[in-house]
Amino acid sequence: MKRISFDEVAKNNVKTGILFFLFFGIVLGLGVLTGIILGNPNTGILIAVVIFLIYSAIAWFKGKTIALSLTGAKKAPQQQYQQLHNVVEEISISAGISKPDVYIIEDTSMNAFATGLKPEDSAVAITTGLLNKLDREELTGVIAHEVAHVKLRDTRTMLIAGVLVGSIILLSDIIFRFSLFGGRERDGRMQLILLIVGVVLILLAPLIGQLIKLAISRKREFAADAEAATLTRNPGGLASALQKLSTQHKKTLDNESQALQHMYIIGPDTKSWLKNLFRTHPPTEQRIERLKEM
């Protein structure tokens, strides 16, 4: 088995950078368009930057808290969840990072996720449904996958991606509204062109943003599986957990939210190519196969 993690961190950082500039370009472009509608491109850029900064500040300071509270995660008491705490601690030692906070989601569904901008301020959460179904070895595999996301900075990448998609959606919405009602008086043809551009943008821009985000999410799942195998030196544990998940997993959380799907250890499995384009995770079968080859 090859140790890949350090290169993966570097590669991931570069990818985050490229993603960041690409997305930021789209945000600025939309800003310029907003400005044109308002009569001054500079105003539009200013609006775009302000929206982006506000979203970033929220994600930076509250991203972890928001993700945890949206899923209904509660801090797992050490006394009650002794084994879970121990497993998280063991894996963080293996990964050489400080122990993430441990959260529990009281839910019969089976899933787990990690969040946080940096390893020193991160959290892993697991549903009681999953926790009760796994033995210690499988639990170690699942936790290793989540800790790998933290170690490889995937949680940060996805948080930034989320902010940028959010900014794009808000800007497209602004453009759409303004092109409908018009900021200034202008002739009918101009109004029509702007309306068409607005409609195309509101449909297309968020979609492109979403697709970029999903593509990254899928790639990161394989990397996290590989890193989990390296951390535990036991790909079998995670493979067996994924097997259990894929046979018993019917939906993500009861209070399912599409926006959070990419965070979980497993996404809904589907055969349709269109749904495959929108999936957050690679097919579980494929992940298990790769783990078995390690």
Partner 1 sequence: MITTLTVIIAVILLAYTIFYNKLIRLKNQVENSWAQIDVQLKRRADLLPAIVTVVKKYAEHEKDVFSYVSNARQKMLNAQTPQENATADASIQSALKSVFAVAEDYPELKADKNFQQLQEEISSTENRVAYARQNYNDLVMKYNTTIESIPSNIISSIHNIFEQKEFFEATEEEKAVPDVKEQL
DSSP H or E run through 126: strand 122-127
Contact pick of 91, 142, 160, 260 for partner 1 (by CB under 8 A): 91
The smaller minimum CB distance to partner 1, of residues 83 and 270, is found at 83
Contact pick of 18, 96, 248, 257 for partner 1 (by CB under 8 A): 96
Catalytic site residue from 8, 138, 146, 227 = 146
Contact pick of 83, 108, 258, 286 for partner 1 (by CB under 8 A): 83
Local structure of residue 81 (DSSP, 8 states) = T
Contact pick of 42, 65, 82, 258 for partner 1 (by CB under 8 A): 82
Q: Does 3 bind partner 1 (CB under 8 A)?
A: yes
Residues between 198 and 257 with contacts to partner 1, criterion CB under 8 A: 231, 233
Q: Which of 245, 248, 215, 290 is nearest to 112 (CA)?
A: 245
Note the Cα 151 to chain centre separation in Å: 15
How is 87-112 classified by DSSP, letter by letter? HHHHHHHHHTSPPPEEEEE--SS--E
Q: Does 13 bind partner 1 (CB under 8 A)?
A: no
As a whole number of angstroms, the longest Cα–Cα distance in the chain is 70
Q: Does 98 bind partner 1 (CB under 8 A)?
A: no
Q: Which two tokens stand for residue 67?
A: 């993700």
Contact pick of 18, 53, 93, 190 for partner 1 (by CB under 8 A): 93
User: How far is residue 89's CA from residue 99's CA, in Å, rounded to a whole number?
Assistant: 6
Q: Quote the least distance from Cβ 74 to partner 1, whole Å.
A: 22
Contact pick of 27, 95, 163, 202 for partner 1 (by CB under 8 A): 95
Q: Quote the least distance from Cβ 138 to partner 1, whole Å.
A: 15
Q: Which of 149, 113, 104, 150 is nearest to 131 (CA)?
A: 104
Q: Does 269 bind partner 1 (CB under 8 A)?
A: no
User: How far is residue 244's CA from residue 238's CA, in Å, rounded to a whole number?
Assistant: 10
Active site residue 293: no
Alpha helices in the chain (DSSP H): 5-38, 41-70, 82-95, 128-133, 136-151, 154-181, 188-232, 235-248, 273-277, 284-293
Q: Quote the least distance from Cβ 2 to partner 1, whole Å.
A: 12
Backbone φ and ψ of 123, nearest 5°: -145, 145
- Binding span for partner 1 by CB under 8 A among 43-51, 82-90, 178-186, 189-197: 82-90
The smaller minimum CB distance to partner 1, of residues 6 and 181, is found at 6
Q: Does 137 bind partner 1 (CB under 8 A)?
A: no
Residues written for the chain = 294
Q: Does 87 bind partner 1 (CB under 8 A)?
A: yes
Q: Which residues are catalytic?
A: 146
Q: Give the footprint of partner 1 on this chain (CB under 8 A).
A: 3, 6, 82-83, 86-87, 89-91, 93-96, 231, 233
